[in-house]
Amino acid sequence: MARVFAPLMTEKKRIKFYYGGRAGGKSYAFADSLLFLGRQKKLFIACLREIQESIRDSVHKLLCDRISFYSLGDYKIYETRIENTITGTKFIFKGLRDQDSQKIKSLEGVDIAWIEEAQTISKKSWEILEPTIRKDGSEIWISMNREEENDPLWMAVAANPDERTLVRCVNYYDNPFCPEEIKYQAEKCRKNSPDDYAHIWLGAPVVQSNTRLISGIDVRRAFEAKMNGSTSPLIIGLDIARFGDDATSFCFRKGRWCCRIESYYKQDNVGVANLATRFIKECRPYRIFMDIGGQGAGVYDILRDRGFGEIIRGIYFGEKAVNEERYFNRRAEMWDSVNQWLKSQPPVQLPVDEELFNDLTSVNKKYDRKGRLQMEEKDEVKKRLGRSPDKGDALALTFAEPVYDRGEPKLYGNGKVSIEEMFALAAGEKDNSGW
């Protein structure tokens, strides 16, 4: 079994979420892992899908095939269930759509629930199931080939995974047992139809309509590793949370290389200013572009008061674009810069980050009466994404103004002080302030 599946057997996680394209080895790995675990101790395992008209729709046959492949004589196969005669492990097979609040109670003792073809699971089914799997130490294993960007289970579980959730992407090239014929088909598709390839073989959600500003294919391409350094000046984009649920995101970019993107929750203005101060000291950015439309103004003031006025620049997303003829506002201009950057040659690089992927590919474009590029209202994006595209905004902010390649900055402020002096100055001011 591919190493990527090892956590199925070894890690304690409430949810194990595997997604990817065709022939990644998900179904086989789940089946094998469950059969082996079920031989070690008594487990009650429910194999679930949204619709199961007959047992033939289920993974019953796959489990039987694997039992016979490994000659596991301790498993006894019945028409609608499988049992281990030594440990007492039992597999059952159910369609979630047939369950109501009464019937689902039969699943309360489940140790492991395997949800197969999870892209078809409805929000309602998930809301009924999740609290039902309530036994101490119980786990939910999910295998999915993504269909749309907002597949309900993707949004509920994987888009913003918590610490009890393991999310892994597996594709055919991760599968050591992938048949040659399948590899051939995948490669052929890659050459002839990149959009289909991304969806079918890489597990990307279906190609978005051309109303999306940024194409998922461009983002996936940027996820491929190509470089591990750049001499371009470091620019930080800082998107500051406006409301409780939003994240404050820092994005670090050096020319073609966006090397790091980080989000922080529930930080007040001083907390964000402290993070920015730490990054200035450690990473020595040439500029920090920050959104000062909402809360950001307060953070900006604190940083200026600490002596970083020459490094930070405040940006209003809603302000006039630099190129007013082409863009409705600054935000549209910056996001289009991201779009063009992603398409540029030589290719660029982003850190692999599914949240960033979703942020970048969820935003629709439109045009105002003057034909200028405009972005849809944040509320619309929020509805689709379930949150604000904070990481996308942080990346966009790194494009607020062109920064010319002058290498690593040595002097800050008015061009006369080193960063050490700047910190000393800021500390000195603080000491005096008590008097």
Answer yes or no whether residue 146 interacts with ligand ATP by CB under 6 A.
Answer: no
Answer yes or no whether residue 65 interacts with ligand ATP by CB under 6 A.
Answer: no
Closest CA to 398 of 288, 279, 317: 288
The rounded distance, in Å, linking the Cα atoms of 420 and 275 is 17
Does residue 68 sit in helix, strand or coil? helix
Answer yes or no whether residue 72 interacts with ligand ATP by CB under 6 A.
Answer: no
In the list Mg ion, ligand ATP, none, the entry touching 288 (Cβ below 5 to 8 angstroms by class) is none
Extended strands (E) in 157-202 = 165-169
At 357, the amino acid letter reads F
Instruction: Find the part of the chain contacting Mg ion (CB under 5 A) among 23-31, 38-46, 59-67, 302-310.
Output: 23-31
Q: Check whether the bond before 233 is cis (ω within 30° of 0).
A: no
Instruction: Among 84, 175, 329, 398, indicate the residue that binds ligand ATP (CB under 6 A).
Output: 175
Instruction: Among 21, 23, 27, 293, indicate the residue that binds Mg ion (CB under 5 A).
Output: 27
* Unique residue bearing structure tokens 């394209």: 21
Structure tokens at 60: 């019953």
**27 or 208: whose CB is closer to Mg ion?**
27
Answer yes or no whether residue 1 interacts with ligand ATP by CB under 6 A.
Answer: yes
Answer yes or no whether residue 28 interacts with ligand ATP by CB under 6 A.
Answer: yes
**Nearest distance in Å: CB 17, ligand ATP:** 13
**64 or 425: whose CB is closer to ligand ATP?**
64
**Nearest distance in Å: CB 20, ligand ATP:** 6
**69 or 367: whose CB is closer to ligand ATP?**
69
**27 or 374: whose CB is closer to Mg ion?**
27
Q: How many CB atoms lie within 10 A of CB 68?
A: 12
**Nearest distance in Å: CB 56, Mg ion:** 15
In the list ligand ATP, Mg ion, none, the entry touching 425 (Cβ below 5 to 8 angstroms by class) is none
**Nearest distance in Å: CB 352, ligand ATP:** 19
Half-sphere exposure of 149 (CA within 13 A, CB side): 21
The rounded distance, in Å, linking the Cα atoms of 433 and 435 is 5
CA distances from 195 to 201, 208, 214, 218, 397 (A): 10, 9, 13, 10, 28
What number of chain residues touch ligand ATP (CB under 6 A)?
14
Answer yes or no whether residue 58 interacts with Mg ion by CB under 5 A.
Answer: no
Instruction: Among 4, 17, 22, 44, indicate the residue that binds ligand ATP (CB under 6 A).
Output: 22
Structure tokens at 75: 């498993």
CA distances from 236 to 296, 347, 391, 421 (A): 14, 20, 12, 21
Structure tokens at 145: 């080939």
Rg (CA), the chain: 26
- Cα 195 versus chain centre, distance: 20
Answer yes or no whether residue 184 interacts with ligand ATP by CB under 6 A.
Answer: no
Instruction: Among 8, 27, 34, 233, indicate the residue that binds ligand ATP (CB under 6 A).
Output: 27
The residues of the shown chain that bind Mg ion, judged by CB under 5 A, are: 27
Residues near ligand ATP (CB under 6 A): 1, 22-28, 32, 145, 175, 177-179
